Amino acid sequence: MKNSPSAVIFRDEKDVIAPVQNTPYSIAAFSSAYAISHQLPVNRLRLNNVEATPENVETGKYQIVRTIALVSKKTKADSSIYQFC
């Protein structure tokens, strides 16, 4: 994918928030968890008229997703970790 020569690319979520909030018509991609935990007023984008809901992500209808991994020590985990995964 090509970016516009005037595009500004940020590598860290925390660095993109203020510029996006202060630039009319700007767009950014960052995690829903970041937006929720920092109580950010954001508008989620529809992709091919599909809303970004947990259900649509789980079923594969909404295809902008990011896979994450969880790494822990080799010890018996608390049962809550299994509920999280």
Report yes or no on whether pTM surpasses 0.85: no
The domain spans of the chain are 13-84
- CA distance readout (Å), 24 to 8, 9, 19, 20, 61: 14, 16, 10, 8, 29
Q: Minimal CA–CA distance to 64: which of 22, 32, 16, 26? A: 32
- CA distance readout (Å), 29 to 47, 48, 57, 73: 13, 16, 15, 31
The token pair at 28 is 């950014």
- pLDDT score of 56: 92
Residues making up the chain, counted from first to last:
85
Taking the chain (85 residues) in runs of 10, the rounded mean pLDDT of each run is 82 87 85 84 86 89 80 70 63
Whole-angstrom Cα distance, residue 10 to residue 84? 29
